[in-house]
Structure 1
Amino acid sequence: MCRVTTSTYDLPAAVANVPLAQERFAGTLATLTDSDLREPSVLPGWTRGHVIAHVARGAEAMVRLIDGVLTQRPAEAYPGGPAVRDAEIELGAQSGANELMDEVYETNLKIVYAFARMTAPTWGRQVQFPTGAYPANRCAWSRWREVEIHHVDLGLDVYTIESWPDEFVACHLPHELAKLPGRLPPGTAVQVGPSRFGTGEVVATIDGPDSAVLAWVLGRVGLAAPALATTGNLPELPPWS
């Protein structure tokens, strides 16, 4: 059972599942060719190569933050800011399948090693994410989420939202639903199963498997729609990336 509220993260679940999620992601990558990487992903404007490069750069960002915690020196997830991050992803997206596979394999190992060096006190120290300061335990939670979500963003039949492990969905759906009101248009509410989110008039009802609801909340409407039963005008949510 995953224990999650809007402000805490299940650290043991995240640390245990990051290596498993990374292994599944790497296993999918091992089947791809150079031409596969040039195909569009689920994310607008990004090829599969962009998604894979982003996941590799994300691992490096988490390792920087963990290193900063362990050395007690302030660290940035992405030195140089968004422009440098985007340029690195663009460059990585042009790499061949073997090169990207090597990058993912190497960065996966680095992040597992970084997490292994952490202790209960260091997990509680603050790190600076691009969105603000949080306890370092968010690094593990964020990495788990990033790998699972971007795995389905590759748009491949071998790994879909139905492939998400039950524990991943159980841990992340309550957390994402808690943030839903802030992502809805002002004055808009939706009914998700038995629960209402947002303020104002209910403009849509949504029901279906938890994995599909999670995909919708994350902005993956195309992946979620076939499994959802909806009424009304479903509001468009910005994709999580």
Structure 2
Amino acid sequence: MSIPAGITHPTALLASIEHATGHVLDAVHAMDEISVHRPSLLPNWTRAHVISHLARGADGCVNLLTWARTGVEHPMYTSKEDRDADIREGGVRSHRLLLEDLRASSARLIEAARSLSPPAWTAEVVGAPGKPIPAYEVLRSRLLELWVHLVDLDYGFGMDDIPATDVEQLLQDTVRQLAGRPDVPAVTVVAEFEGGTVRSWDLGMPLQRPQRGKQVRGHPGALLGWLLGRTGSADLHGDAPEMPPWL
């Protein structure tokens, strides 16, 4: 088995992961003991909860890459209850400990990714929702998580600030996860990139598509925020339907 054509090789994706991680770490470093415990954009989560979630997510990715490397099952999390408890615990940590935790867990992930042999990237592991995935999907999911949760921190970074080199892939991955779901309305998503490049994707069940007619256009960041339920449709063009929860 090989990585499909059109899928960025995970070793090439590492540079984007490191770049996004650097942005998140810079944002957390700029916070203080008061601001780190202020509310994030996620319901009932402070910024500290989001930071702790990112740290535990990095360790979860390490578990999956270890599984791919060794062939021995290493679940992303021991249980949802343990994962939630770890995030709650992180929510009361000091700013310094949160920063150190995120920095160390992120470094462990980069090291784990660099240690994987080419064949290991196609090994099957089980992601957080309990869905079997090839190991190369782990870094793609991590890149989305980093940029989106940086926005969730509500600390001066928005969807439109995601680098153009990454936002197209994030859109593609998000549409791929939503496509074919019975609860997703039939609509054509049209992204208008800088320089005049346009890309489009169809959502909704295949049988719905002949009757679709709906088209939503906009800049990539605005479309991504709408698809993920982070932003509304005010900056989009067309009759944007209400989207179901992303996960």
Q: TM-score, normalised by structure 1?
A: 0.85
Give the aligned residue type for 1:127: V
**Unaligned 5+ runs, structure 2:** 191-199
Query: Can you list the C-alpha shifts for 1:64-86, whole angstroms capped at 9, x where unaligned?
Result: 1222333331111101x101100
> How many residues matched?
230
Query: Can you list the C-alpha shifts for 1:121-173, whole angstroms capped at 9, x where unaligned?
Result: 1112222223222221122112111111111111122x111110111111121
Equivalent residue of 1:185, what SS? coil
C-alpha separation between the residues in 1 aligned to 2:9 and 2:52? 27
Q: Report how far residue 216 of structure 1 moved.
A: 1.2
Q: What residue number does 2:39 align with?
A: 40
Select the residue among 203, 225, 243 that pairs with 1:236.
Answer: 243
Q: What residue number does 1:190 align with?
A: 187
Q: What residue number does 1:103 align with?
A: 101
Conserved? CA contact 1:184–1:237, under 8 Å: no
Conserved? CA contact 2:68–2:120, under 8 Å: yes
Q: For the aligned residues, what is the CA RMSD?
A: 2.3
Give the aligned residue type for 1:18: I
Conserved? CA contact 2:227–2:243, under 8 Å: no
Q: What residue number does 2:48 align with?
A: 49
Distance 1:203 1:162, change over 3 A: same
C-alpha separation between the residues in 2 aligned to 1:44 and 1:100? 20
Give the aligned residue type for 1:99: L
Give the aligned residue type for 1:229: H
Q: TM-score, normalised by structure 2?
A: 0.83
Q: What residue number does 2:197 align with?
A: none
User: Any residues of structure 2 matched to 1:146-225 within 5 Å, and which?
Assistant: 146-157=145-156, 159-183=157-181, 185=183, 188-193=185-190, 196-198=202-204, 199=208, 202=212, 205-222=215-232, 225=233
C-alpha separation between the residues in 1 aligned to 2:126 and 2:53? 19
Conserved? CA contact 1:18–1:144, under 8 Å: yes
**Unaligned 5+ runs, structure 1:** none
Higher relative contact order (CA 8 A, sep 6+): 1
C-alpha separation between the residues in 1 aligned to 2:220 and 2:166? 11
Q: Report how far residue 190 of structure 1 moved.
A: 2.3
Distance 1:25 1:149, change over 3 A: same
